[in-house]
């Protein structure tokens, strides 16, 4: 499949010939800018402008129509008004054009008629098997000298580099090219996706995954066309054994997907954006919150080796900025590396007496390039140090040029990431230039360097993570199927508690002992079988929220209490809902209380089953401290769901509390993943609470609810 | 006092004559750079270089010594080695020099001998009443044309502006001047404080508060010399009725103050940095987390009027960046303003049909300056709109220059803050220049604009806050005094629970009913008086952690249970600590359980009593969701302590929970504030828990602990 995509997309990125349908004689117009950009970028193929009213444009022979071009055309760029686009594409089909870029706007984004036009476009490209970028986009750039193609109407060509950029906003592309020029960043491929009527982020990602010119992939997204496919491709890209490529994504806007599900408890927490957080974290995509972060990260990833761990050394020639860098590193989860004693000893011999020899190392204002050199050498050699942030404040004594050259030399000698922060603008400009020319990222403020480094350390962790699979438990699927089918047959959309329990038991969840009793005698009998004390709960297809109906009695210690409770519950429920059909009562063992956990699942119309984990209790709800992941989950993911909540430390044995049995929670999550993957008709599932006990002592489900899909 | 400070500091900022002691013939040296900077800045007074070995420096007559100068000298700038500084200062004293700036390093910052030298400096300036900046600093700038003084050895002079900058790091000053030049920011006063041996942030702040040239104060701090005084001055500065000035501070490093107190429960949460958070929020200081934020904020505050509220309108000519801006605004607590229906109607008549008329307004890529003009007019006129962020992405159709001029015109017409984000660098440089020249801040990324605007809205809230005082309750202070004194007399450092209760009762806290019983009979009697069920707690000066000793029995429902419990507790305690002196047992009413609250106080060696508020429970502890404030607190502060926790919404009636009696918690905090202000010997105080009940139903203290200071 990969090769197929590569072959198909080569028509976009490496065409031997391009027809510009809608090339224009009018200077400054899109139709002329694009043609000029192709020529100016020294495109390695041949360009054929098409315009029925022109003989030639900027000195290049023009054709009346696509059909008039005597040679083969690999790629067509369309700049004609939207209503003519599908006819033009039909011609492309006839001429066996393999790729197309529709620059023109006036499609889906304007609604109404535009939507129809876009549908037509889709039909035509499908019919002819044309790979399409757009419509409503800026175009495509390929800086590979083998192609050297600037098929955009922007004002800038990118310099060659190892970063690919995919953007769902054309306007942003213009700005990004501008920033990139200032930051001296080069791109390998640069794609404005537009409305994504043909190629989407998924095919493009798959292409870039195998593009030898691309090392880092940058994405600006407003939505995902197919989240599950994205996850698969992205995961392969970020964790490829031979050639992993980091993906850095900025996802703007908030989905409305979660809103629909907000009716259930789980759903109300599974708001929109957290689904994207889940997706990105499950496939190793680094998520930037702002445009600025995107640039900060990509500068480091595209130029520096990955750090082996989180230990950073800070070298500075001024106290204040050194403290700021330290603060930032800690805030972003990095460690201030403890130096090897030998390193400190070496520093003592090479630095002035007032220098601070421990991390952060303050070389003091008088520091010369020799001091930077000796310090860098000692520190980069230290095995406790995984990366370095170097701060340089221009003082009266500072030779910025010499120090910058020293940094470049030392960074090349040791294969550890070196990030710089030359404070200021004009006073350090010569240094910044030297660093950038030699691929050492420079940041305006120490905070930005720390943040970028922290993402690199995170990515190292991702690459080193133990490779786990999706655990397949041996379960009684047929039994669960039977229960669910019988509920559907009755026309119900939710399972009675006992039915939910039975489904969970079929998947070997640790459900509390329970028996259904149809009358008081049976209840008494059941209680004796289970052992006192017990709980009584109403069993009725007409009562969903048992507690609100007075349908639950806890801690019943003998037969009499059971009988009494039976009557009371009956009275309570019938008082509230006289017409309620009552199946009986569920007699449950009274579980010894454990730490309350909530597990849940919600099926999103686009993304499918989304699992939720959270500690129970109103605080966790108020703080929305829950994690989400798309099922099925891998073994490691189950653990990560638990450990990545803020309240996780409570489960580890916080302040005299015991350590809880985290392993069994993870197992429940994995079983849940299997269950909801097996049964697409389960729309919602809540296990609330699951009581978890001390390490090694397991857990028990004491309430559960399953809701089926209406379709 | 204020006028005195102003008069004294005028010797620093408006000297009529300056002696440069240590002026140098060596080009590039500090002693020459400083002299040259003064001359180049066209200093309005007279400069006297002092150097025994030179006749003249850069064309200016030199003096052998300070005493040789025939005229009066207002300010001396010292650049001689540290060991000569105090002698030079003695001469200054003799010559009646009123101000001094010590540039030289080699003092406190190098430790050892340096500390001694700095002490000597302090003595000399005190003896002669000299106002001192430094040592170990970059110097001072005053851009006021009446002085036009660059008394620094940096490479840059600042342009005139309305921002004052105070920095505890000289290195940072250099960088800041450099950034400011690029960002076109001007300063009124620029002060490198160095080691703060003489003038500190407090006197400087007081001076700037009254400086008519200063509208915004920027501070870089590593510590506060006197936190309480800082609070007082800063509060007056930020909330002055006639002329409030925002203070924006970056506090680097973490204090170690909190660490000492970590032994007690309260203390372990009152970590270091949160004290600074408390200080800043109590005096209205805006705290930046990074250098970058500092610049982002100051750009907006120094040039734009304050917004009346949180409603922001976003105007963009491209979808993606508009979404990013929306995301950022919401993330930073701003509201996307709902437009007046009339505004939308107007926009409909002036914008193309595909434009998006609601907030964020998307003018689409074709937008011309006329569209920006009409939109800005309609939106800034709308009373629902308090501020505007304008995004401009350069497209093929964009006339950046014209649009920028339109923005400037409209911003001047309406007195609402307008922040811009021209995306890109080169393509929009002409626009950025126009905006900056006309005092409209431009941000590189929409996120930065949103963040700055959010701080402005916060400051508006601060200014509009109801002015409350410190409530003075009528209490029985003498009784509390007596209890504390008797405990001290016994040589104890902590109060028995009953004693703590008595102290709290003397301050009219709602303490649970309790009686001390010395034997079983008394216990039985007490229980009857109080009413069953009751709680029994060990009372012993040798048992601090009652629960750990098995020293508490809850829910005793009759006499027998009380007697049994008495014996059991005795047995438990003596088993663990046979030598424990046992005063008896505390018999307490069994409080009906409410929502658990923790109130506390910890006395910091520098900052004095620090109050703490938090909801009880392990989650809140794990999340460290507590607030701190320095006592005494104002009425509004008490409420803010409660409302600014993340878990606050639980008290408001979250998800079916009742709304709790927040007013009585606030009252307890105010009483606590009074108690710990009255008694300096109270070192720690914990009320844990306080049970709070539903709104209107009050609260009850069911456990309390008071520890006295060892001095």
| DSSP secondary structure, A170-228, as one string | HHHHHHHHHHHHHHT--EEEEEE-TT-SS--HHHHHHHHHT-TT-SEEEEEES--S-HH
CB pairs under 8 A between A and B: 216
Among candidates A445, A646, A650 on the partner chain, residue whose Cβ is nearest the Cβ of B292? A445
Q: Average pLDDT in the A209-219 region? A: 97
Closest by alpha carbon to B695, among B651, B638, B639, B640? B651
Same domain? For B25 and B135 the reply is yes
In a domain, A286, yes or no: no
Mean pLDDT along residues A395-411: 91
Q: Which of A110, A156, A622 is opposite residue B650, by nearest beta carbon?
A: A622
Residue A258 has pLDDT above 60, yes or no: no
Distance from CA of A622 to the nearest CA of B (A): 6
Same domain, B624 and B687: yes
In three-state secondary structure terms, A303 is helix
Structure tokens at A678: 């097996």
Between the alpha carbon of residue B531 and those of residues A387, B512, B534, the distances in Å are 67, 12, 7
What does the pLDDT read at residue A560?
Answer: 94
Tell me: do A702 and A566 sit in the same domain: no
- Chain A residues within an 8 Å CB radius of B110: 354
Q: Do B155 and A394 make contact, defined as CB atoms within 8 angstroms?
A: yes
What is the nearest CA distance from B220 to chain A, expressed in angstroms? Answer: 9
Please report residues of A whose CB lies closer than 8 A to that of B326: 253
- Cis bond upstream, residue A360 (ω within 30): yes
Residue B396 DSSP symbol? T
Average pLDDT over residues A84-102: 97
C-alpha B467/C-alpha A115 separation (Å) is 57
Tell me the mean pLDDT in the region B235-263. 72
Q: Are residues A599 and A611 in the same domain?
A: yes
- A320 with B178: Cβ contact below 8 A: no
Q: Is residue B646 very low, low, confident or very high in pLDDT (cuts 50, 70, 90)?
A: confident
Name the CA dihedral angle for A423, A426, A430, A434, rounded to a multiple of 10 degrees.
50
B328-377 pLDDT tens trace:
898 899 999 999 999 999 999 999 888 888 899 999 888 899 999 999 99
CB-CB neighbors (< 8 A) of B645 in chain A: none
Asked if the Cβ–Cβ distance from A354 to B393 is below 8 Å, we say no
Cβ proximity of A279 and A230 under 8 Å: yes
Mean pLDDT (whole number) for A7-11: 92
Strand (E) positions, B658-698?
A: 682-692
Residue A426: DSSP 8-state: S
Cβ of B174 and A423 within 8 Å? yes
**What's the whole-number mean pLDDT along residues A393-408?**
90
Longest CA–CA span in chain A (Å) reads: 102
Within a domain: residue A178? yes
Measured between beta carbons, the chain B residues lying within 8 angstroms of A354 are: 109-110
Per-residue pLDDT, averaged over A563-591, amounts to 93
Q: What mean pLDDT is predicted for residues B95-108?
A: 95
Q: Give how far B620 is from chain A: nearest CA, Å.
A: 8
Closest residue on chain A to B615 (Cα): A619
Q: B466 — alpha (psi -120 to 50), left (phi > 0) or beta? A: beta
Scanning every residue of chain B, which has its alpha carbon at the shortest distance from the alpha carbon of A328? B290
CA distance B318 to chain A (A): 6
B352 DSSP 8-state letter? -
What pLDDT is stored for residue B272 in this prediction? 65
CB atoms A290 and B321 under 8 Å: no
Instruction: Indicate which CATH number applies to the domain containing B404.
Output: 3.40.50.261
* pLDDT score of B259 more than 50: no
Nearest CA in chain B to A645: B623
**A590, A611, A637 - which closes a domain:** A590
Predicted confidence at residue A186, as pLDDT, reads 95
Q: Which pLDDT score, from 0 to 100, does residue B616 have?
A: 84
Q: What angle do CA A199, A201, A203 make, to 5 degrees?
A: 55
Q: Which residues of B touch A654 (CB under 8 A)?
A: 618, 621-622
**Probe site for chain A from B195, B619, B659 (most A CB atoms < 10 A):** B619
Contact A619 B621 (CB under 8 A): no
Pairwise CB contact (< 8 Å): B647 & A170: no
Which residue of B297, B367, B424, B432 to mutate against A (max A Cβ within 10 Å)? B424
pLDDT of residue A365: 80
Q: Which residue in the set B109, B328, B396 is minimally distant from A33, CB to CB? A: B396
pLDDT band at B654 (very low <50, low <70, confident <90, very high): confident
Q: What is the pLDDT of residue B260?
A: 32
The predicted pLDDT at position B622 comes to 79
Residue A710 has pLDDT above 90, yes or no: no
* Pairing relationship of beta strands A387-392 and A311-316 according to DSSP bridges: parallel
Q: Say if A248 falls within a structural domain.
A: no
Estimate the share of chain B in helix, then strand, then coil, as percent rounded to the nearest 5: 40, 20, 35
Q: Do A319 and B446 touch (CB under 8 A)?
A: no
Domain around B430: 305-464
Give the domain CATH number at A617.
3.30.470.20
Prediction pTM value: 0.91
Q: What is the mean pLDDT of chain A?
A: 91
pLDDT bracket for residue A707 (50, 70, 90): very high
The verdict on B153 and B200 lying in the same domain is: yes
B164 and B182 share one domain? yes
- Two structure tokens written together for B461: 């809230």
In terms of C-beta density within 10 A (0-12 exposed, 13-18 middle, 19 or more buried), how is residue A171 classed? buried
Q: What angle (nearest 5°) sits at the alpha carbon of residue B181, between those of residues B178 and B183?
A: 110
**Per-residue confidence band for A263, with pLDDT thresholds at 50, 70 and 90:** very low
Between chains, do B619 and A617 touch, taking CB under 8 Å as contact? yes
pLDDT in tens, B517-572: 999 999 999 999 999 999 999 999 888 788 888 899 999 999 999 999 999 999 99
Residues B465-511 have pLDDT tens digits of 998 899 999 999 999 999 999 999 999 999 999 999 999 999 999 99
Q: B142 forms bridges with which residues in the sheet?
A: B149, B189
> Does one domain contain both A99 and A178?
yes
Q: How far is B486 from chain A (nearest CA, A)?
A: 34
A93 and A154 inside one domain: yes
Q: How confident is the model at residue A265 (pLDDT cuts 50, 70, 90)?
A: very low
Residue B689 lies in a domain: yes
Interface test with A, best of B27, B154, B291 (most A CBs within 10 A): B291
**Nearest chain A residue to B136, by CA:** A365
Contacts of A649 in chain B (CB under 8 A): 622
Check B175 against A393: CB less than 8 A apart.
yes
Give A619's contacts in chain B (Cβ within 8 Å).
Answer: 615, 617, 619-620, 623, 647, 650
Residue A2's pLDDT is 61
Chain A residues within an 8 Å CB radius of B331: 289
B236: its two tokens: 């007056």
Runs of H (alpha helix) within B129-200: 170-183
**Mean pLDDT over the full length of chain B:** 91
Residue B124 maps to a domain: yes
Give me the number of domains chain A comprises: 4
B334 vs B455: CA distance, rounded Å: 10
Return the higher-pLDDT residue of A3 and B353.
Answer: B353
Q: Domain boundary residue among B464, B499, B525?
A: B464
Closest to A175 (Cβ–Cβ): which among B169, B252, B423?
B423
- Which residues in chain A touch residue B394, judged by CB atoms under 8 angstroms apart? 155, 174-175, 178
Residue of B nearest to A421 (CA): B175
Percentage of chain B surpassing pLDDT 70? 97
**Minimum mean pLDDT among A31-45, A262-276, A549-563: which range?**
A262-276
Residues B599 and B704 in one domain: yes
Flag whether A224 is in a domain. Answer: no
Each residue's pLDDT tens digit, A466-504: 988 999 999 999 999 999 999 999 999 999 999 999 999
Yes or no, beta carbons of A318 and B649 under 8 Å apart: no
Residue A184 to chain B, least CA–CA distance (Å): 12
Q: Do B615 and A617 touch (CB under 8 A)?
A: no
pLDDT digits (tens, 9 = 90+) for B263-318: 333 333 444 678 888 999 999 999 998 888 999 999 999 999 999 999 999 999 98
Question: Across the interface, do B650 and A618 touch by the CB < 8 Å criterion?
Answer: yes
**Chain B hits for A137, Cβ within 8 Å:** none
A328: chain B residues, CB-CB within 8 Å:
290
Last residue of a domain, one of B214, B249, B266: B214
Whether the per-residue pLDDT at B596 is higher than 50: the answer is yes
Does the structure show a pLDDT above 50 at A9? yes
- The predicted-structure confidence for A105-153, as pLDDT tens digits, reads as follows 999 988 889 999 999 999 999 999 999 999 999 999 999 999 999 999 9
Q: What's the pLDDT score for residue B1?
A: 53
Q: Do B445 and A290 touch (CB under 8 A)?
A: yes
**Do A28 and A95 belong together in one domain?**
yes
Rounded CA separation A234/A222 (Å): 16
Interface test with chain B among A192, A360, A622, by most B beta carbons within 10 Å: A622
pLDDT tens digits for range B235-246? 999 998 889 999
Do residues B20 and B158 share a domain? yes
Checking if the pLDDT of B435 tops 70, the result is yes
| Residues 6 or more apart in contact with residue A315 via CB below 8 angstroms | A360, A361, A363, A372, A375, A376, A379, A388, A389, A390, A391
What six digits make up the tokens of B117?
């030298």
Contact (CB, 8 A) for A645 and A674: no
At A1, the pLDDT band (50, 70, 90 cuts) reads low
Q: Do B426 and A178 touch (CB under 8 A)?
A: yes
The answer to whether the CB atoms of B155 and A617 lie below 8 A apart is: no
Residue A238 in any domain: the answer is no
Other residues' Cβ atoms within 10 Å of the Cβ of residue A260: 11
Beta-carbon contacts of residue A114 (< 8 Å; ≥ 6 apart): A82, A106, A107, A108
Cβ separation B396–A252 shorter than 8 A: no
Test B178 with A426 for CB contact under 8 angstroms. yes
Look up the CATH number of the domain holding residue A105. 3.40.50.720
Does residue B27 lie within any of the structural domains?
yes
Share of chain A above pLDDT 70, in %: 97
- The pLDDT tens digits of the residues spanning A644-689 come to 998 898 899 887 788 999 999 999 999 999 999 999 999 999 999 9
Same structural domain, B48 and B197:
yes
CATH number, residue B572: 3.30.1490.20
3-class secondary structure, A258:
helix
């Amino acid at each position: 499949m990969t090769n197929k995509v590569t072959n198909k997309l080569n028509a976009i990125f490496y065409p031997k010939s391009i027809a510009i349908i809608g090339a224009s004689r009018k200077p400054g117009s899109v139709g002329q800018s694009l043609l000029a950009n192709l020529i100016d970028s020294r495109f390695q193929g041949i360009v054929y402008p098409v315009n029925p009213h022109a003989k030639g444009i900027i000195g290049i022979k023009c054709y009346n129509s696509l059909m008039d071009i005597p040679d083969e055309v690999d790629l067509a760029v369309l700049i004609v008004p939207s209503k003519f686009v599908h006819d033009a594409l039909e011609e492309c089909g006839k001429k066996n054009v393999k790729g197309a870029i529709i620059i023109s706007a006036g499609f889906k984004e304007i609604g109404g008629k535009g939507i129809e036009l876009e549908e037509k476009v889709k039909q035509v490209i499908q019919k002819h098997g044309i790979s399409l970028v757009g419509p409503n986009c800026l175009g495509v750039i390929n800086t590979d000298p083998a192609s050297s193609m600037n098929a955009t109407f922007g004002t800038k060509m990118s310099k060659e580099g190892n970063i690919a950029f995919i953007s769902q906003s054309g306007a942003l592309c213009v700005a990004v090219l501008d920033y990139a020029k200032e930051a001296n960043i080069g791109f390998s491929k640069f794609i404005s996706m537009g409305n994504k009527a043909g190629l989407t982020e998924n095919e493009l990602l798959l292409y870039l995954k195998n593009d030898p010119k691309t090392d880092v992939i940058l994405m600006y997204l407003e939505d995902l066309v197919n989240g599950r496919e994205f996850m698969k491709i992205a995961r392969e890209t970020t964790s490829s054994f031979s050639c992993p490529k980091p993906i850095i994504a900025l996802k703007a806007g908030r989905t409305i997907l979660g809103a629909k599900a907000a009716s259930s408890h789980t759903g109300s927490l599974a708001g929109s954006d957290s689904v994207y957080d889940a997706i990105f974290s499950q496939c190793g995509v680094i998520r930037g919150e702002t445009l600025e972060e995107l640039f900060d990260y990509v500068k480091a990833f595209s130029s520096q080796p990955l750090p082996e761990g989180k230990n950073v050394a800070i070298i500075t020639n001024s106290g204040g900025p050194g403290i700021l860098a330290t603060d930032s590193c800690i805030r972003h989860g990095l460690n201030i590396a403890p130096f090897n004693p030998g390193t400190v000893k070496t520093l003592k011999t090479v630095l002035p007496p007032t220098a601070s020899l421990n991390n952060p190392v303050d070389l003091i204002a008088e520091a010369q390039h020799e001091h930077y050199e000796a310090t860098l050498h000692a520190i980069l050699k230290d095995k406790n140090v995984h990366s370095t942030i170097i701060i340089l404040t221009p003082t009266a004594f500072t030779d910025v040029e010499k120090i910058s050259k020293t940094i470049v030399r030392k960074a090349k000698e040791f294969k550890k990431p070196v990030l710089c922060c030359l404070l200021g603008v004009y006073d350090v400009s010569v240094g910044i230039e030297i660093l950038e020319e030699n691929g050492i990222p420079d940041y305006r403020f120490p905070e930005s360097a720390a943040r970028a480094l922290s993402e690199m350390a995170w990515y190292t962790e991702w690459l080193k993570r133990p490779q786990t699979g999706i655990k397949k438990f041996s379960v009684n699927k047929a039994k669960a199927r039977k229960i669910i089918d019988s509920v559907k047959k009755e026309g119900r959309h939710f399972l009675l508690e006992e039915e939910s329990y039975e489904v969970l038991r079929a998947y070997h969840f640790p459900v509390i002992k329970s028996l259904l009793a149809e009358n008081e005698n049976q209840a008494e009998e059941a209680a004796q079988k289970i052992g006192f004390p017990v709980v009584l709960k109403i069993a009725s297809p007409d009562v969903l929220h048992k507690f609100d109906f007075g349908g639950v009695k806890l801690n019943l210690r003998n037969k009499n209490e059971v009988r009494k409770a039976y009557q009371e519950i009956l009275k309570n429920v019938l008082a509230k809902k006289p017409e309620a059909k009552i199946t009986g009562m569920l007699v449950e063992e009274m579980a010894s209380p454990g730490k309350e956990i909530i597990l849940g699942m919600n099926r999103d119309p686009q993304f499918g089953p989304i699992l939720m984990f959270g500690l129970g209790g109103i605080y966790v709800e108020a703080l929305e401290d829950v994690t989400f992941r798309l099922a099925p989950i891998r073994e490691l993911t189950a653990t990560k769901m638990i450990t990545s909540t803020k309240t996780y430390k409570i489960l580890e044995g916080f302040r005299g509390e015991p350590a809880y049995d985290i392993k069994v929670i993870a197992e429940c999550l994995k079983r849940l993943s299997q269950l909801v993957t097996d049964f697409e008709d389960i729309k919602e599932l809540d296990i609330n609470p699951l009581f978890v006990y001390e390490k090694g002592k397991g857990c028990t489900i004491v309430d559960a609810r399953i809701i089926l899909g209406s379709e």
